[in-house]
Structures are given as C-alpha cells and as structure tokens.
Amino acid sequence: MSVEHQVILAISLLFVASASAGVPLPRYEALLKQQSAPVDASSGLYDDSDKVVRLTVDNFNATVVNQNRGALVEFYNTYCGHCRRFAPTYKTVAEHLLPWSEVLFVAAIDCAAEENNGICRNYEVMGYPTLRYLGPGFQPSEQHYGQNLMTQDMTEIRELLAGMVAAENLTSGHNNSYWPNFHYLTENDSVSGLFEGLSSARQYVAVVHEPENTTLGIEVALFMIQWPAVEVRRVIDPAVAAKFKIDPANQPISLVNRQGEITAYSPEFANGESYAKKLEEELGKKNVTPRPVKVHKSVVTTAPKVDGQSELIDEVHRNKHFVYQADLEQAVRTVLHNEVSKVSEINGEKLLALQRFLAVLQRYNPLGASGHRLVAKLKDYVVQFNEQLTGKQFEEELKRLEEQMSPVYSSTHFVGCAGSSARYRGFSCSLWTLFHFMTVQAANNEEATDPLEVLQAMHGYIKNFFGCTECSEHFQTMASRRKIWSVPNKEEAVLWLWAAHNEVNQRLAGDATEDPEFPKKQFPTPNSCSECYRSPVSKSENLEIEWNKDAVLSFLKNIHNPQFVSRYGVQREELLHPSPEKMRQKRQISNVFTDIDMRMGMLLYAFCIVMMVLAFKLFAFKGYRKKPYGHDLLGKV
C-alpha cells in the first residue's frame, strides 16, 4: 500500500473512530496539540510520615551493612499489587517496633526505581515483597543475603524478629550498649545478685516469665530498651520464677528494686507489648521516665506535588478510552531498565522469553526512529547468547545503546496511566496498554501469520520478569484456564487479551490497590462505545455483559491505531513519526490539484511555453530589414 493510500485510509478511519469510539474529531485534534507539564510524582510506597527507613543505592550499605544493630528490610516494587496491599501492614510493623530501633529498625527499598537495580539484583530478590533480616555486623556474600521472613502477618513478623535478634545476641559479639541481656535466670541466681555488674543507672530489674516455645520475654526486653533505669531478665523455670514472686498463670512479671523489694503484676494481655505497657505504667508511678526514641532518618525526600497533575487527571477522566504515547514509552522503558535489568541470571526459559519479547517489540515498536534502532540492536545483542546472559550485561548494553542513539524517549512520565498518587496505577496499567497495542498491530500486519506471537511473548515476560509475583501467578493461572494456547487467529488474540484484562478488572474492583480516582470497570464503558453492548448494562457490571464483539474489535483497532495515539503530555514530539495533523497538512498541500487538474496544468504549461516562443518571434524580430553595406566595393551584405 502506497504512502498516499495509507494517509487516505488513516484520515477515513479517524472519522470512523470518532463516530464508533465516541471521540469527537475537533476535540481529539485539539488535545493532540496540547502539551502538559511532566509528572514527576514521588515514587515508593512510604513517605516522611511513616516510620519506615527508606533505602536507596546511595544509603543502603551505609545503613544496613556492618552495623551494630540489625535491620528488617523489605524489597518491594511500587507497582506490585501485593506490595501495595502489604504496605499498610508494614507501616504498622514499623510503628509498633519503633521502641526496638536501637537494636533493630524497619526499612524498605523500592526495586522499581532504576537506580536500585544493582542492589535488588545482587541480593537475588526473586519475588515481591521480600522481607529479609540483616543482623548486626551483616556482610553480604554469595548465598548469604540475609534471612528470609516467609510471612506477612504482623504478629508472626514480631515473633520471628525477636527470635533472630536473641540468636544474634547469644552467638555473636557486637558493640551496642543498648543490647538487652537475653540469658535466662537460673536456680543459681538470687534477688541479691540481680544487680551485680549493672550500672548504677539500673534501679530496677524486671523479671518476666516466658512460656516455652515463645519469644514473650525477648519482646518485653526489646520494648523496654528506651528505659535506662530498668534491666529485663527472662525466666522459664517455674521454681526459679517463684524466687521473684512470679505466678506464671496470674502474675507473670515482677519488678525488683535495689533494696530487694519485689512487686508482681498482672498485665492485661499475654503478649510482649502488653507486658511492657504494664511495666511502663508502674515505672511512671515511681517517676521513672524513658529517653526519647531515636528515629533513623531516611536520606530520601518526598518529591513535591507537580504543577499540572490535577489538569492531567482531568484530561484522562474526559477521555478514558484514549491511548497515550507517553504510557507506551514508559512501559517499554520500565521493562528494559527496571524489570529485565534487575534479574541476576537470564538463562534457559528466561533467555528464550526475553528473545521472543524483544522480537515482538521490534516488530510492533511504538517508539520513534531512535527507539526502533535501539530495540533492533538490543534484540540482535540478546539473540547472540545461547546459554546465559546476566542482568548486568543487559543493563550495560542498554545504556551504551541509549547513549549512542540519544535521545530515544519523547516522554518521561505517565499520562493515561498516571494515578492520583504514586502508589496507584503506573507501570502495570501501561504494560496492559503496550500489549493491547501490540496485539492490534499484529492483527493489522498482513505479513504476520502466528496468532500467538504477542500473547506468547507476553506470557513469557510476565512469568519470568514481571516484578509483581502474585500478579504473575494470577495471570498464568488465568491464561491456562482461558486456554491462551488455543487462540485460533490474530483478531481472536486481540479479543482474548481484552477479555482477560476485563477479568482482572473485575477481580480487583474494590481492592486496596484500586485508585479511588479510577475505579476498575469493564472496558469499554457505554460512554466510550455504546455499540459494543448488545443490551443495557446492569449496575452490577459483572462479566455477564452481552458484548458485541465485532464492535469491540473495531473499537480496539481504532483506539490502538498508531495514527490516533494521543500525544498529550509528550515533551519531545520531534522524536516521533509525523502526527496525523502534520500528515494532513502535507496531504492538503499535495492535493491542491486533482490528477485531472495536474494533467490539465501540464497541458496549460506546455501551451504557455509555445505561446511565449511565438510571441518572442513575432515581437522581438519585428521591423528587422536587410540593409546595403556602406562600401559598394564590397558589395551588399
């Protein structure tokens, strides 16, 4: 098909899209002309109001490696739905364990941030969120990157940490004067000997009965770190406990002063926090006070809210069916820089999945000319590896190619996938958009014959590289149930992905990860494509909607047509292919005359040349006569 015919088809499709997809042509063209300010929303799930210490590549080693205190570190991905759901719990854990901070603090590092790729890759993080305990004096080494906590229950986290801290205390030396004494009292210990070797600042010893197979006494000791006047000791033997007037069933804790006076107490609940609360209450009556809790400051600061964010959100609300160039580019960039680059070793199935993904991306690339060259060379680089490629090698080659072909990306932020805050939408939204875009391009590509090329690439990528572990597992299960490998043709591949996406929207509707500004709905909505519904939509919006799939397919092909992708918010449009408006301007100039007009013009041009020649002959030589030469001897000339 010639360029001229492609332009004519694009213009005609634009009018079709404006009618069937609910896109008013004048407003569409007006939006394409607009430019928005870049959206640099603060990344990460934690901010200055939380007690979570935020780590980056700049402060990671200085904060957690070879220190005299331990750290609980969460490795997470901002766009991981499971991480987003866990974030409130983790904030509560950090708040709850703040009194332990001299011995152990709670921290997190965002593996979705490109600068942290090396840390997350080196620590061999295989899923998100991952919780690791890094003890005092911790030094990373091969096969030793901290102890995994295989739970996300707050009580279990506290108990596991207490056990790990006590084990560190009993087996390793460290220089930390705040570390409690975790040794049990024995039958050789007496009331008079409790204060031997203690600082004069220790006015009381709190004796705590700890039931077997629990960490209750350890937890009490950690909660009481901020009380310098108190030393906490554990006792497990009932006979030894009796020496300190402890009744394990009714009064499991007691306070002993330097005069040998003992008072037993009964806390409200049988847990470390309640025991500590009771001790604090009694110490307060004795005018004993704690020292302030030392808070470990994050070096990361929350980025200010960017001007224009509300306008951008309003734009997306007005045009919920638009596909934005900025989102497609952010998806490609995040996949290459953040997802693939942080995988430690890419071999076997992972290597094949990466090669397939890059081959499909090269074929249906949404970037400009530089982006096309970048992906092509990157694909050629990866294909040459038969057995193994490291994430570090991939990252280095990617950066080398980008420096060579810079600039590559026309945008640095999300537009249609921007959320009301940095913890919503973003990459996961843009990834869906990218794969929808590629299935449509494959369906429109007459040379492509494999109906599964995009779906297979998507499945391999999500299984082997996608940073949300729970999301990946859900997708693989859904793909199997929906028989992804049985899709018969390219147009059915477009519809398969559309139906799968709607199933995910249905499952996550009302979830904690849902952006309140953009609730999960079945797509397209009646406002975007009324022809896509065979019957009125019920308020429940369930998966029993009677769809007009032919209309849905036309709608999807319209909105993912490269000529109609909105450039609202793009910062460097010169890096992209000419927009429909510029192409129409060229077309208008070339179409001043029709083909008949052009032929007539040529005839008129030839006629004018002939007439000019005749006129020249008639008027330029008019009046010229032969005259005799002045000398008769030479004759006449």
In this predicted structure, what is the pLDDT of residue 308? Answer: 58
The bridge status of strand 230-235 relative to strand 204-209 is parallel
pLDDT band at 302 (very low <50, low <70, confident <90, very high): very low
Helices (DSSP H) in 116-207: which residue ranges? 117-122, 154-171
pLDDT band at 555 (very low <50, low <70, confident <90, very high): very high
In this predicted structure, what is the pLDDT of residue 412? Answer: 87
In this predicted structure, what is the pLDDT of residue 73? Answer: 97
Helices (DSSP H) in 204-271: which residue ranges? 216-223, 238-243
> Of 429, 437, 445, 416, whose CA–CA distance to 560 is shortest?
437
Residue 35 pLDDT > 70: no
pLDDT band at 59 (very low <50, low <70, confident <90, very high): very high
Answer for the pair 277, 5: CB distance below 8 angstroms, yes or no: no
pLDDT band at 20 (very low <50, low <70, confident <90, very high): very low
Rounded CA separation 133/93 (Å): 14
In this predicted structure, what is the pLDDT of residue 584? Answer: 54
Answer for the pair 383, 494: CB distance below 8 angstroms, yes or no: no
Answer for the pair 576, 570: CB distance below 8 angstroms, yes or no: yes
CA distances from 574 to 369, 408, 410, 577, 579 (A): 10, 11, 8, 8, 10
Sort 172 into a burial class: Cβ within 10 Å, 0-12 / 13-18 / 19+: exposed
pLDDT band at 164 (very low <50, low <70, confident <90, very high): very high
Question: Dihedral of the CA atoms 351, 352, 358, 360 (nearest 10)?
Answer: -160
Rounded CA separation 409/332 (Å): 10
Residue 5 pLDDT > 90: no
Helix, strand or coil for residue 265? strand
Residue 632 pLDDT > 70: no
pTM of the shown model: 0.74
In this predicted structure, what is the pLDDT of residue 26? Answer: 40
pLDDT exceeding 90 applies to what percent of the chain? 57
In this predicted structure, what is the pLDDT of residue 295? Answer: 64
Express each pLDDT in 118-136 by its tens digit. Answer: 999 999 888 889 999 999 9
Residues pairing with 98 in the sheet: none
Express each pLDDT in 193-237 by its tens digit. Answer: 999 989 889 999 999 999 999 999 999 999 999 999 999 999 999
Express each pLDDT in 408-452 by its tens digit. Answer: 999 888 999 988 877 788 889 999 999 999 999 999 998 888 999
Average pLDDT over residues 607-628: 65
Q: What is the mean pLDDT of the chain?
A: 83
Domains of the chain by start residue, with CATH: 53-171 (3.40.30.10), 180-302 (3.40.30.10), 305-517+559-575 (1.20.120.310), 606-637 (no CATH)
Answer for the pair 386, 337: CB distance below 8 angstroms, yes or no: no
In this predicted structure, what is the pLDDT of residue 60? Answer: 94
Residues pairing with 254 in the sheet: 207, 264
In this predicted structure, what is the pLDDT of residue 442? Answer: 94
pLDDT exceeding 70 applies to what percent of the chain? 81
Answer for the pair 220, 276: CB distance below 8 angstroms, yes or no: yes
> Of 545, 561, 441, 540, whose CA–CA distance to 499 is shortest?
545
In this predicted structure, what is the pLDDT of residue 174? Answer: 63
Rounded CA separation 523/391 (Å): 36
pLDDT band at 3 (very low <50, low <70, confident <90, very high): very low
pLDDT band at 81 (very low <50, low <70, confident <90, very high): confident
Answer for the pair 523, 502: CB distance below 8 angstroms, yes or no: yes
Answer for the pair 437, 364: CB distance below 8 angstroms, yes or no: yes
Answer for the pair 460, 355: CB distance below 8 angstroms, yes or no: no
pLDDT band at 17 (very low <50, low <70, confident <90, very high): very low
In this predicted structure, what is the pLDDT of residue 543? Answer: 53
**DSSP classification of residue 397:** H
Residue 567 pLDDT > 50: yes
Average pLDDT over residues 133-157: 91
R_g of the chain computed on alpha carbons: 36
> Rounded to 5 degrees, what angle do the CA atoms 476, 478, 479 make?
65
